[in-house]
Structure 1
Amino acid sequence: MKDNEANTGGLFMFGLFLAIGLIVSALFISGALKEMKSGSQTIEVKGYAERTIVSDLGVWHCNIRTRSENMVTAYNKLKSDIQTAKDYLLSKGVKSEEITISSVNSQKIFKVNDEGNYTNIIIGYELDQNIKVSSKNIKLIQILANEATSLIEKGIEIFSEPPQFFYTKLNDLKVKMLGEATKDARERAEQLATNSGSKVGKLKSAKQGVFQITPVNSVDVSDYGEYDLSTIEKSVKAVVTVEFSIE
């Protein structure tokens, strides 16, 4: 008799716990369905876009300097060297409006004693000027960077810097690529949603990542973005992080 009562009590408790479990499960599922219907569930994905561009502006810098015991002599020599350099650039096909010449920088040269320390005795002056050439003729910029040091043969102390190559329509391109990256993000979200039996709803938020402008086939990246100026042909990569509602 006691065994029957124990069995009956056990079955009762089992049934009670089962009923409670079913009620809780039903409430949970009901709440989840309400969240999905209200669009409170979201999915966050990254979208990517990549393009190859060709630079349309080249910039080349050089520095010309002179030294003399007399400042006037140093200035006259610098003035002559700058004119010679300008004539050289014009002869190569550079337009006058593409040439920018900086103001004259000057500094005193002090005598060094036997211990290798500078003294207050002025023994000369050093003057220099920078020349900048900006041109859409990319090949010409390359030629100048490689051949301008031939002016050394004319007694000119010239220091040539590596050329830089820019893409002047970059801002317009960025806008287009952000649209492409957002479209890519939606396609990725739709694929994920389809696999889970859901549908992608409205765009909830979007965050623009940094642009990576690198040499073609480069894997260099930076948290602050890359902007390569050393190559004519470049790869531009855009990334966006997008959040969509799930229906």
Structure 2
Amino acid sequence: MNKSIIAITIAALGFVIGLAFLGNAIKNRNRADNTISVTGLGSKEFTSDLITWSGSFTKNNYDLKSAYDDLAVDRKVISDYLISKGIKPNEMVFSAVDIQKTYNYTSDENGRSHQIFAGYNLTQTVSIESKEVQKIENLSRNITEIINRGIEFTSSPPQYFYTKLSQVKHEMIANATKDARERAEKIAENAGASLGNLKKATMGVIQITAPNSNEDYSYGGTFNTSSKEKEASITIKLEYQVK
């Protein structure tokens, strides 16, 4: 009889202890889940302060040396023209000459195809990088003046950059963090609670697009170089404990 009482007592005690452990686990689980996760946005519009522009010119000749000589003449005309427009010699970079053999193709009376040498095609590119954005923009738009001099010149669209992007990024991170904090405080206030410690912060990638555009954001970040006016944005995800 005494053994039965002892066994029942031990079983009851074990049950009570088990409930205590279970209650503690549930309490800790609820405490761990008692968090708020919010995402804040920081953005800023700015104007590019650096521009790059390039154009290529071509000469074709059956004789390679003659083609080189003709290309050198065009290069001198282009260089003189750019200097006359206020471009400094150290702002111009001429690439190495690209040489391609060209062929014409014909078919004989039996339908067999033959290639006939049509000469050497030489191409060179001139590139400009400058902080005088407006001046280079005007230059790229009026490049027909070079074409009117008998030079086969192809102009590329200007590319725009910003040299103080790191400062913009720091400012956006601060704004995104503030925005996320304010959102978290509002959610906690509406729930009758208050924010505790910050548990985790995750920063997104910077996205740079043209203002008011429909450009898609990229997982690895977007960097628009075709627009002089830009808008940068970044997100910050914060996770807080709630008291």
What range describes the TM-score normalised by the shorter chain of this pair? 0.7 to 0.9
Counterpart AA for 1:61: S
Q: CA RMSD in A?
A: 2.4
Report Cα offsets for 1:106-156 as digits up to 9, x if no partner: 010123114899745322000011111111011111111111122111110
Per-residue deviation, 1:210: 2.4
Counterpart AA for 1:151: I
Counterpart AA for 2:106: N
TM-score under structure 2 normalisation? 0.82
Q: Any idea what SS the aligned residue of 2:86 has?
A: coil
Report Cα offsets for 1:158-214 as digits up to 9, x if no partner: 000111110111123212211221121111101101111111122211222222211
Q: Any idea what SS the aligned residue of 2:232 has?
A: strand
Per-residue deviation, 1:245: 1.5
Identity %: 37
Q: Any idea what SS the aligned residue of 2:215 has?
A: coil
**Is residue 75 from structure 1 mapped to residue 68 from structure 2 by the alignment?**
yes
**Is residue 94 from structure 1 mapped to residue 87 from structure 2 by the alignment?**
yes
**Is residue 63 from structure 1 mapped to residue 56 from structure 2 by the alignment?**
yes
Contact kept? 2:107, 2:114, Cα under 8 Å: no
CA distance in 1, matches of 2:161, 2:114: 45
Aligned residue among 142, 146, 160 for 1:147 = 142
Contact kept? 1:149, 1:160, Cα under 8 Å: no
Aligned residue pairs, count: 220
Per-residue deviation, 1:86: 1.0
CA distance in 2, matches of 1:86, 1:201: 65
Gaps of 5+ in 2: 1-18
Contact kept? 1:111, 1:118, Cα under 8 Å: no
- What is residue 166 of structure 2 aligned with on the other side? 171
Counterpart AA for 2:90: E
CA distance in 1, matches of 2:87, 2:97: 22
Gaps of 5+ in 1: 1-23
Per-residue deviation, 1:238: 1.2
More deviation, 177-186/218-227: 218-227
